[in-house]
Structure 1
Amino acid sequence: MKAIKKLAKVEKDKSITIKLLPFKPGSKVEVIVFPAGKEEDVFSFMDKVVKEKKIAPMSLKQIEKIVHESRAVK
Protein backbone atom coordinates (compact mmCIF):
# COMPACT_ATOMS: atom_id res chain seq x y z
CA MET A 1 0.00 0.00 0.00
CA LYS A 2 1.29 3.45 -0.86
CA ALA A 3 1.08 6.30 1.64
CA ILE A 4 -0.46 9.57 0.49
CA LYS A 5 0.95 12.78 1.92
CA LYS A 6 -1.23 15.89 1.95
CA LEU A 7 -0.57 19.28 3.52
CA ALA A 8 -3.73 20.79 5.00
CA LYS A 9 -4.56 23.91 6.97
CA VAL A 10 -6.52 23.59 10.21
CA GLU A 11 -9.73 25.62 9.98
CA LYS A 12 -11.15 27.93 12.66
CA ASP A 13 -13.32 25.07 13.95
CA LYS A 14 -10.14 22.94 14.32
CA SER A 15 -11.03 20.63 11.43
CA ILE A 16 -9.38 19.79 8.12
CA THR A 17 -10.77 18.61 4.79
CA ILE A 18 -8.76 16.38 2.47
CA LYS A 19 -9.96 16.24 -1.13
CA LEU A 20 -9.04 14.24 -4.21
CA LEU A 21 -7.85 11.07 -2.52
CA PRO A 22 -7.08 8.06 -4.76
CA PHE A 23 -9.50 5.71 -2.98
CA LYS A 24 -12.95 4.44 -3.82
CA PRO A 25 -15.88 6.05 -1.99
CA GLY A 26 -16.60 4.08 1.17
CA SER A 27 -13.01 2.84 1.54
CA LYS A 28 -11.65 2.75 5.06
CA VAL A 29 -8.41 4.68 5.53
CA GLU A 30 -6.11 5.32 8.46
CA VAL A 31 -5.35 8.96 9.16
CA ILE A 32 -2.33 10.15 11.14
CA VAL A 33 -2.02 13.88 11.74
CA PHE A 34 1.03 15.76 13.00
CA PRO A 35 2.17 19.36 12.70
CA ALA A 36 4.11 20.28 9.58
CA GLY A 37 7.44 21.83 10.23
CA LYS A 38 10.87 22.34 8.82
CA GLU A 39 11.88 18.88 10.01
CA GLU A 40 12.24 16.32 7.27
CA ASP A 41 9.69 13.52 7.31
CA VAL A 42 10.80 9.89 7.28
CA PHE A 43 9.63 9.30 3.68
CA SER A 44 11.67 12.20 2.26
CA PHE A 45 14.67 11.19 4.36
CA MET A 46 14.58 7.59 3.13
CA ASP A 47 14.12 8.69 -0.49
CA LYS A 48 17.29 10.77 -0.13
CA VAL A 49 19.24 7.91 1.50
CA VAL A 50 18.20 5.46 -1.22
CA LYS A 51 19.31 7.86 -3.97
CA GLU A 52 22.59 8.82 -2.26
CA LYS A 53 23.54 5.20 -1.52
CA LYS A 54 22.27 4.04 -4.95
CA ILE A 55 20.22 1.28 -3.33
CA ALA A 56 18.34 -0.77 -5.92
CA PRO A 57 14.57 -1.11 -5.43
CA MET A 58 13.53 -4.43 -3.89
CA SER A 59 10.28 -6.33 -3.78
CA LEU A 60 8.75 -7.42 -0.48
CA LYS A 61 9.63 -11.01 -1.40
CA GLN A 62 13.31 -10.06 -1.79
CA ILE A 63 13.31 -8.25 1.56
CA GLU A 64 11.54 -11.19 3.22
CA LYS A 65 14.19 -13.56 1.88
CA ILE A 66 17.00 -11.40 3.30
CA VAL A 67 15.30 -11.17 6.71
CA HIS A 68 14.78 -14.94 6.89
CA GLU A 69 18.36 -15.64 5.79
CA SER A 70 19.77 -13.24 8.39
CA ARG A 71 17.70 -14.86 11.15
CA ALA A 72 19.02 -18.30 10.18
CA VAL A 73 22.68 -17.23 10.58
CA LYS A 74 24.02 -18.02 14.06
Structure 2
Amino acid sequence: MVFSYRRLCVSLLFCAGCSFKAQAFDLSTQGVVISAYATSKVTSAPFDNKLIVAARDDAAAFVATDGQ
Protein backbone atom coordinates (compact mmCIF):
# COMPACT_ATOMS: atom_id res chain seq x y z
CA MET A 1 0.00 0.00 0.00
CA VAL A 2 1.52 3.26 -1.10
CA PHE A 3 0.97 6.31 1.04
CA SER A 4 -0.20 9.18 -1.09
CA TYR A 5 0.64 12.68 0.07
CA ARG A 6 -1.62 14.05 -2.62
CA ARG A 7 -4.66 12.34 -1.10
CA LEU A 8 -3.65 13.52 2.36
CA CYS A 9 -3.26 17.12 1.20
CA VAL A 10 -6.55 17.09 -0.68
CA SER A 11 -8.44 15.66 2.28
CA LEU A 12 -6.86 18.14 4.71
CA LEU A 13 -7.69 21.08 2.45
CA PHE A 14 -11.24 19.81 2.05
CA CYS A 15 -11.72 19.52 5.82
CA ALA A 16 -10.17 22.94 6.42
CA GLY A 17 -12.42 24.51 3.80
CA CYS A 18 -15.53 23.05 5.35
CA SER A 19 -14.62 24.26 8.83
CA PHE A 20 -13.93 27.80 7.59
CA LYS A 21 -17.36 27.93 5.96
CA ALA A 22 -19.02 26.78 9.16
CA GLN A 23 -17.12 29.34 11.20
CA ALA A 24 -18.04 32.14 8.79
CA PHE A 25 -21.71 31.13 8.97
CA ASP A 26 -21.54 31.08 12.77
CA LEU A 27 -20.01 34.54 12.90
CA SER A 28 -22.51 35.98 10.44
CA THR A 29 -25.56 34.68 12.33
CA GLN A 30 -24.22 35.43 15.80
CA GLY A 31 -25.15 39.12 15.65
CA VAL A 32 -28.69 38.38 14.51
CA VAL A 33 -29.26 35.88 17.31
CA ILE A 34 -27.87 38.20 19.98
CA SER A 35 -29.96 41.17 18.86
CA ALA A 36 -33.13 39.06 18.64
CA TYR A 37 -32.50 37.69 22.15
CA ALA A 38 -31.91 41.17 23.58
CA THR A 39 -35.03 42.52 21.87
CA SER A 40 -37.19 39.72 23.27
CA LYS A 41 -35.85 40.32 26.78
CA VAL A 42 -36.50 44.07 26.59
CA THR A 43 -40.03 43.73 25.24
CA SER A 44 -41.18 40.86 27.46
CA ALA A 45 -39.67 41.86 30.81
CA PRO A 46 -42.42 44.27 31.96
CA PHE A 47 -45.17 41.82 30.99
CA ASP A 48 -43.44 38.94 32.78
CA ASN A 49 -43.20 41.04 35.92
CA LYS A 50 -46.96 41.70 35.84
CA LEU A 51 -47.62 37.96 35.55
CA ILE A 52 -45.33 37.21 38.48
CA VAL A 53 -47.03 39.82 40.67
CA ALA A 54 -50.47 38.43 39.78
CA ALA A 55 -49.36 34.86 40.49
CA ARG A 56 -47.83 35.92 43.80
CA ASP A 57 -51.10 37.63 44.80
CA ASP A 58 -53.09 34.52 43.86
CA ALA A 59 -50.76 32.31 45.88
CA ALA A 60 -50.98 34.62 48.89
CA ALA A 61 -54.78 34.59 48.73
CA PHE A 62 -54.78 30.78 48.49
CA VAL A 63 -52.52 30.45 51.52
CA ALA A 64 -54.49 33.06 53.49
CA THR A 65 -57.77 31.19 52.96
CA ASP A 66 -56.13 27.90 53.97
CA GLY A 67 -56.66 26.39 50.52
CA GLN A 68 -60.34 27.30 50.17
TM category, shorter:
under 0.3
Larger radius of gyration: 2
TM-score by length of 1: 0.24
